[in-house]
A and B are shown apart, each in its own frame.
Chain A
Amino acid sequence: MPRTLSSILLALLVLIGGSTGLFALTADDLKPLAEDDFDAKNQALNQIIAAGDAVALRVLEAMGQDAVVATADGRVLIQDGDVLKDPITGDPVDVKASDVQGITLNNLLRARVESGLSGLRLQAPDHAVREKAINDLFQAPDAAAKPLIEAARSKETDPVLKARLDQLWALTALQDPDAAKRLQAVQLIGERKDPQMRSLLAPLVAKQADGTFAEPDEKVRTAAAAALKAMAFEQWKIEMIGTLFAGLSLGSILLLAALGLAITYGLIGVINMAHGEFLMIGAYATYLVQEFFKSHLLGVLDWYPLAAVPASFLAAAVAGFILERCVLRFLYGRPLETLLSTFGISLVLIQLVRTVFGAQNVEVSNPSWMSGGIAVMPNLILPFNRIAIMVFALTVVGIASLVLNRTRLGLYIRATTQNRRMAACSGIRTWQVDSYAFAFGAGIAGLGGCALSQIGNVGPDLGQNYIIDSFMVVVLGGVGQLAGTIIGAMGLGIISKVIEPFWGAVLAKIAVLVLIVLFIQKRPRGLFALKGRSVEV
């Protein structure tokens, strides 16, 4: 912060020496800030931005940090820790911090404060500060900043920033009285191909109530129409990519939720109604790791997911191991009893978590590197947390398939799945393999829970929301094949996302269910059915 501050101060010197600073702010100009009247506040803000001097910068900075306060008799002050300062002179004043109240700014005013600050920073000597100011102004172009943008535009030397400034200027120049300037502005906006700018250009080609165009100049109208057409195409591309991404993202979530089930149900044949609760255990393990980092390792809080991944795997695997050893072991070959007992266990687990952690959802926040997203096209931002989950899902599938196909445990699991008695004859302790395989499947579910905690709510009922989806994926994909699970999950994800824009979320869900029922009629064993003698076992 100090670096930015000093560079701003330098920028100020430039400003004061330069064109602005037409009039100085007085305490009376600031007075409306303490009032309740929105228009008066807005007007005061206009004046502050227009003044553009050191006082303005001080006041705006303080407003941006919610540090502007007012006394009961309406005197506006700046709070700096426990010290209150006069906004005009910057000197400490003799008022106690307990005697003042913060002024209220609503969204609109806060946005104007931000863009005012960015406007003042447009001529900062530091390249990075200028760039940030320009980018911030793009987010919220403000008409009051137009003179500042024009001043900066004439002075900017960096060609990249100059081009950005030109576009920025265009946003504020659409109402300029000079038709040539308007035309230039329209062309500059058109070059950006940002569909979000459609609302700026659309009024130019629209007819007014009396049949005349709002935009008198024909050339400007033609340019605007062409730009709008390009934007519509751009929007179509964005929608296509966006839908595909959303489908893959939903698919990878379904995949993570269902993968553990594909192992326990697909390979071992246990109908585990408590599968969802393994997801929940994984999510709560993530929560506990986060809380531990918060209290003991605050400095590296952002990296808690790295520790949460093994923790959630272990927690769910241990729970799965205990469940297998204590209950399921005695129920092999009796699917109905297995189903009912695991359903009962799921209720017990939910109630247990409710008793320990409370019925309220717990707070699992994204680490800062998982918040926000990457702008791949104007107006198309792919969120980091969804990208991270896709990568994570692929990694987990890779690990699962490595374990199943390349390790001794995997060999034993496959052997036991295909022919239990033959496997036992060759010296495999099948009862032990069952425990390990079930624990492994549960652990994978725990990993799924860890990922789900980054995207949805963590509460006792978390598992209930995913159990049906998980079964759908496994049934659709076919039993005993990881590839089937992957294709099933991705297919379901993309189909739901393609249907959703047309029919809405409620009908999309129903449509997917109907599709699956129809599909199962045709292929009762799912997409990828195991073939050969082992199927009959």
Chain B
Amino acid sequence: MKRSNLLKLLAFASCCTVACIPPLVGAESTEPIKVGILHSLSGTMAISETSLKDTALMTIEEINKSGGVMGRQLEPVIVDPASNWPLFAEKARQLLSQDKVAVVFGCWTSVSRKSVLPVFEELNGLLFYPVQYEGEEMQKNVFYTGAAPNQQAIPAVEYLMSKEGGAAKRFFLLGTDYVYPRTTNKILRAFLHSKGVQDTDINEVYTPFGHSDYQTIVADIKKFSQGGKTAVVSTINGDSNVPFYKELGNQGLKANDVPVVAFSVGEEELRGIDTKPLVGNLAAWNYFMSLKNPVNDAFKKLWFAYVQEHNLPGGDKRVTNDPMEATYVGIHMWKQAVEKAGTTDVDKVIEAAYGQKFNAPCGFEEELDANHHLHKPVMIGEIRADGQFTVVWKTKGTVRAQPWSPFIPGNETKPDHLSGVFPLNIGIETANVDGLKPIQQ
């Protein structure tokens, strides 16, 4: 056949997509409170998001066993947006308008969150978002239970600059090419400037999703490190991390010479890969599975009992990680807020949620702030050969989130929190909150 036809055919073939699985819809009943779970159970994000769905179901089961919320049982409604960003919005709409759920726990990537935001605003729903993200957002209808940049990225870089972390003078910012790494690196660059680090001492490099050949980049890191003590800040997402760390090990770059701190590498990502080349490298999170405290012990026990009881794939090799902890904390925060408000009405629950406190598995009492983020401790862990982390540094207490990073110009005028400044339920124009349109009509 002709070669020119081939290219057309290839293009056609790559346009074909896989159909999605129809959603599960819970039975009609007025007695239990319906809660929505919006995580991808198929497609590329299934690897990460499936365990969040499992965690949510586990937490709901735990709450139901201990009497439910205000004496009412919780009934989970699970939908599968199939790693398809527009489908997230559709499924969110279905949860809010058809299933009439009181609250939704879900989303992983920033783009999926951005896709459902207009739906939650329009229908006045409530979303708990459990993953660390780039900040630059504070929406009335969302509670962010993952870390903002000042609760993960900035303390990690501060650690690298400290004597203890190796007193790094030069920074190699390496990431996958999309919004989270780019925004995070923008914030980090401004932060480094404020610490007196020159642009010549910062190198920013991006690779495509699924990149697997890190030879040139590792050689670049080596060359860059000749100019002084260097640290690599990695926002590489997904399985590209494995070839990256492998190449580091094979080319003889040790964690002692050039430490790599990662923001997207956790226990779940290390599960099932060869962790030997990664040992000694760093990750910054707000929770690690290896933490020793009674709350975490109970959390892990609960998780493994759930895994066993429901015969989940992976069995006793399953792990807990930071977004799972954030999911768990988020559901409990919502429960407490509902109990305080005495109703599941979204506006009243939001008002009641401010100031809620919960003893989290990270070993600290976390507080839900009026800026819709949690106060969280920051921890730096070093990767061990068994795929777990040794915590080598942590904050003394919890850190309040700064969703509007002071290192991005123009954020000075953004509101510090949403309650009080903009009283709810009066429909005022809160144009300067999200810049463009009012939150409430």
Contacts and interface: CB of A to CB of B under 8 A. Distances in A.
Interface in A455-489: 455-457, 459, 461, 465, 468, 471, 475
A104 B390 CA distance: 7
B436 interface: no
Contact of B212 (A362, A386, A465, A475): A465
Contacts of A359: 46-47, 50
Interface in A85-124: 101, 104-108, 110-111
B272 A456 contact: no
Contacts of A282: none
Contacts of B208: 505-506, 509
A107 B259 contact: yes
A106 B382 contact: yes
Contacts of A383: 247, 250-251
Query: What's the dominant secondary structure at chain A's contact region?
Result: helix
B239 A459 contact: yes
B36 interface: no
A216 interface: no
B256 A110 contact: yes
Interface stretch (B136-144, B223-231, B340-348, B357-365): B223-231
A269 interface: yes
Contacts of B242: 361, 456-457
Query: What's the dominant secondary structure at chain B's contact region?
Result: mixed
Interface stretch (A48-56, A178-186, A241-249): A241-249
A398 interface: no
B298 interface: no
A361 B250 contact: no
A501 interface: yes
Nearest to A346: B13
Contacts of A500: 216
Nearest to A379: B222
Given A360-B271, A363-B273, A385-B250, A269 B1 contact: yes
Interface string A110-140: 1100000000000000000000000000011
Contact of A505 (B4, B16, B217, B256): B217
B249 interface: yes
A190 interface: no
Given A196-B222, A202-B227, A365 B276 contact: yes
B107 to A, nearest CB: 19
B313 A497 contact: no
A111 B256 CA distance: 7
B297 interface: no
Given A140-B256, A361-B242, A381-B252, A107 B382 contact: yes
A524 B3 contact: yes
B421 interface: no
Contacts of A250: 213, 215
A371 B206 contact: no
A195 B222 CA distance: 10
Nearest to B164: A38
A209 interface: no
B272 A360 contact: yes
B207 interface: yes
A504 interface: yes
B272 A235 contact: no
Contacts of A199: 225-229
B70 interface: no
B43 to A, nearest CB: 9
Contacts of B292: 101
B205 A504 contact: yes
Nearest to A381: B252
A110 B254 CA distance: 12
Interface string A293-309: 00000000000000000
A383 B215 CA distance: 10
A273 to B, nearest CB: 6
Interface in B25-50: 44, 46-47, 50
B403 interface: no
B210 interface: yes
Contacts of B393: 106
A48 to B, nearest CB: 18
A465 B213 CA distance: 12
B149 interface: no
A362 to B, nearest CB: 6
A213 interface: no
B104 interface: no
Contacts of B207: 504-506
B65 interface: no
Interface in A242-294: 242-243, 245-246, 249-250, 253, 269, 271, 273
Contacts of B227: 198-199, 202
A456 to B, nearest CB: 4
A80 interface: no
B206 A506 contact: yes
Given A273-B13, A509-B208, A246 B1 contact: no
A455 B243 contact: yes
Interface string B2-21: 01111001100100101000
B254 to A, nearest CB: 7
Interface string B156-188: 000000011110000000000100000000000
Contact of A525 (B3, B222, B239, B282): B3
A101 B271 CA distance: 25
A328 to B, nearest CB: 14
A361 B273 contact: yes
Contacts of A147: none
Interface string B247-271: 1011110111101000000000001
Contacts of B18: 347
A38 B380 CA distance: 14
A456 B164 contact: no
Contact of B215 (A246, A271, A360, A524): A246
A339 B313 CA distance: 35
Contact of B166 (A107, A340, A360, A373): A107
Contacts of B219: 239, 242-243, 246
B361 to A, nearest CB: 19
A433 to B, nearest CB: 20
Contact of A457 (B10, B212, B271): B212
B316 interface: no
Contact of A372 (B9, B250, B256): B250
A461 B43 CA distance: 11
Contacts of B291: none
Contacts of A195: 223, 226
Interface in B272-326: 272-274, 276-277, 280, 282, 292, 313-314
Contacts of B220: 501
Given A106-B164, A108-B166, A242-B219, 12 more contacts: A249-B215, A253-B213, A271-B6, A363-B272, A364-B274, A366-B246, A456-B243, A457-B243, A505-B207, A505-B211, A506-B177, A506-B207
25 contacts: A39-B164, A101-B292, A196-B222, A202-B227, A243-B216, A246-B219, A273-B13, A335-B5, A343-B16, A359-B46, A359-B47, A360-B47, A361-B273, A364-B274, A372-B252, A373-B252, A381-B250, A456-B212, A456-B242, A457-B212, A465-B210, A475-B6, A500-B216, A506-B206, A525-B3
Interface of B: 1, 3-6, 9-10, 13, 16, 18, 44, 46-47, 50, 163-166, 177, 205-208, 210-213, 215-217, 219-220, 222-223, 225-229, 239, 242-243, 246-247, 249-252, 254-257, 259, 271-274, 276-277, 280, 282, 292, 313-314, 382, 390-393
Interface of A: 38-39, 101, 104-108, 110-111, 139-140, 195-196, 198-199, 202, 235, 239, 242-243, 245-246, 249-250, 253, 269, 271, 273, 335-336, 339-340, 343, 347, 358-366, 371-373, 375, 379, 381, 383-386, 455-457, 459, 461, 465, 468, 471, 475, 497, 500-501, 504-506, 509, 520, 524-526
Report the 8 A-B pairs with minimum CB-CB distance, sorted nearest first: A383-B250, A365-B274, A246-B215, A106-B392, A111-B256, A38-B164, A198-B226, A335-B1
